[in-house]
């Protein structure tokens, strides 16, 4: 029997306006290639780097989210390698004295248990550019070169693809909730490198590891880990050796691909960066940078235990900080029952305009009112869900919930005299006679058919509880 051991390195792009050491714009989404670059990023003669203060602040806040210690003194080093994606010939990073030390991530698993992953450290560094390989040549885009990152390095505490996915998901939640990154996986705001090795169960030695780089989805992390485990086991059982190397992931084929042999640290010729003085932070500096931290995912989960919701519902609400904050505001202002309705609406919504939630246009007040209308039998559950989607439509942004429901003709009729007419019409119809006979014979379940007919004829506007009461009275 074989066991996998995984450690994950995660590059987190910090949400600064400018790059780590230059005044170049840090937002290169949809920008022309090589249009967001400054002479400092090229390290041209006479250009000196200036450390971005906001990047330091965000790194310190990330450390708080990771339950880590912040170093009072950290230093930058040069990591030398000659590759077109960093034309200055070295990457500025923190090899020997990183800013974030230790830490822990507690990731919830599907079975209800919690995976606790220790962190070795996290260091600040600049990103490299992007290479696009086309046939016999490669294109380089340096817009990303110099972008501020923290690289979070876990201990090898992960032992299954599902655990790897859970850890990566929780790390994403922590970084986005702390506000240190935009978390746009498509544009590479967070990229995961999966270091995986295989050994016999019970062995006190780890096997030779491979590193599968630049995974940018949780599904890819899980699939790549499973494929690499199977590949290494097949090699070992055939009497062959696993090569320590860097591998890429092809999402279309579902396979990892050898890219290059894995370098050891000494191959990079690290040296202290002579142009950047040590970063010195007092405890007071650290406290100020970490002041006003938002509510984090673990705290939300504790607050929501009383709602008794499915894990998938919780995860959907936690997929965006503004959605989680809005749902929590509904819970505190309108109570658990209203909150459960809002949670389930978000969970079943699929894609929706999160910016409307973030701006407060679709906020806790409107959602709480919508949930209240269901509790007061003014809206059916189905009707309320229709109104929920309508809240995000541009023509409804300035309307009240009641106005939207009224315009959609979804307000429930609770006037007995109005419903009586529909009930009597249903009971008199030929299609209802079997259900009427069944009820009189003691089959109470048949009343559901009659209520359904009332709802159908009233176009869903009759109060179903009142409709059932009136049907019973007449039978």
pLDDT (0 to 100) of residue 414: 64
In degrees rounded to 5, what are phi and psi of residue 468? -65, -40
Can you tell me the distance from the alpha carbon of 232 to that of 234, in angstroms, rounded to the nearest whole number?
Answer: 5
pTM attached to this predicted model: 0.87
Q: How far, rounded to the nearest angstrom, does the alpha carbon of residue 193 sit from its chain's CA centroid? A: 17
Biggest CA-to-CA distance, the chain: 96
pLDDT at residue 440 in the model: 77
Q: List pLDDT tens digits, range 34-43.
A: 999 999 998 8
- The domains located in the chain, with CATH, are 2-285 (no CATH), 297-407 (no CATH), 416-474 (1.10.10.410)
The whole-angstrom separation of Cα 23 and Cα 39 is 10
CA distance 122 to 11: 9
Which pLDDT value is given to residue 352? 81
Are the C-beta atoms of residues 229 and 4 closer than 8 Å to each other? yes
Token couple for 48: 């000196």
If you ran DSSP here, which 8-state letter would residue 280 be given? E
User: Low-confidence residues of the chain, pLDDT below 70?
Assistant: 262-266, 413-419, 421-423, 426, 431-432, 435-438, 441, 446, 454, 457, 459-461, 467, 473
What is the C-alpha separation between 198 and 195, in angstroms, rounded? 11
Give the helix ranges, DSSP H, for 178-246: 218-237
Instruction: Give the per-residue pLDDT at 404.
Output: 93
- What is the reported pLDDT for 435? 67
pLDDT at 172: 97
């Amino acid at each position: 029997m074989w066991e996998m051991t995984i450690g994950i390195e995660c590059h987190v792009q910090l949400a600064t306006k400018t790059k780590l050491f230059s005044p170049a714009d840090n937002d290169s989404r949809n920008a022309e290639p090589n249009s967001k670059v400054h002479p400092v990023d090229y390290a041209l003669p006479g250009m000196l780097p200036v450390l971005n203060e906001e990047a330091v602040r965000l790194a310190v806040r990330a450390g708080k989210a990771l339950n880590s210690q912040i170093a009072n003194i950290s230093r930058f080093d040069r990591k030398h390698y000659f590759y077109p994606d960093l034309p200055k010939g070295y990457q500025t990073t923190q090899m020997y004295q990183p800013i974030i030390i230790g830490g822990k991530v507690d990731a919830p698993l599907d079975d209800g248990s919690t995976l606790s992953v220790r962190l070795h450290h996290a260091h600040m560094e600049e990103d490299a550019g992007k290479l696009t390989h086309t046939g016999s040549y490669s294109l380089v885009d340096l817009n990303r070169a110099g972008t501020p990152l923290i690289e979070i390095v876990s201990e090898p505490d992960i032992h299954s693809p599902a655990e790897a996915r859970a850890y990566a998901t929780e790390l994403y939640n922590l970084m986005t909730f702390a506000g240190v990154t935009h978390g746009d996986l498509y544009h590479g705001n967070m990229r995961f490198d999966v270091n995986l090795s295989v050994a016999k169960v019970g062995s006190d030695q780890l096997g030779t590891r491979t590193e599968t780089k630049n995974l940018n989805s949780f599904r890819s992390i899980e699939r790549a880990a499973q494929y690499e485990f199977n590949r290494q086991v097949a090699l070992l059982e055939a009497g062959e050796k696993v090569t320590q190397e860097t591998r890429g992931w092809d999402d279309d084929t579902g396979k990892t691909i050898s890219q290059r042999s894995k370098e050891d640290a000494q191959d990079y010729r690290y040296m202290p960066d002579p142009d950047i003085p040590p970063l010195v932070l007092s405890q007071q500096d650290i406290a100020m940078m970490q002041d006003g931290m938002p509510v984090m995912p673990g705290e939300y989960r504790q607050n929501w235990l009383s709602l008794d919701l499915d894990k998938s519902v919780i995860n959907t609400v936690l997929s965006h900080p503004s959605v989680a904050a809005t749902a929590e505001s509904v819970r505190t202002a309108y109570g658990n029952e209203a909150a459960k309705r809002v949670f389930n609406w978000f969970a079943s919504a699929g894609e929706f305009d999160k910016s409307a939630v973030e701006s407060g246009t679709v906020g806790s007040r409107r959602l709480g009112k919508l949930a209240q209308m269901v509790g007061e039998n003014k809206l059916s559950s189905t009707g309320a869900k229709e109104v929920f989607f309508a809240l995000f439509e541009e023509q409804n942004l300035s309307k009240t919930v009641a106005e939207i429901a009224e315009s959609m003709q979804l307000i429930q009729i609770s006037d007995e005299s109005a419903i009586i007419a529909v009930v009597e019409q249903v009971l008199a119809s030929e299609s209802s006679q079997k259900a009427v006979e069944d009820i009189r014979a003691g089959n109470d379940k048949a009343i559901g058919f009659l209520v359904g007919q009332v709802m159908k004829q009233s176009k869903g506007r009759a109060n179903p509880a009142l409709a059932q009461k009136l049907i019973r009275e007449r039978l």
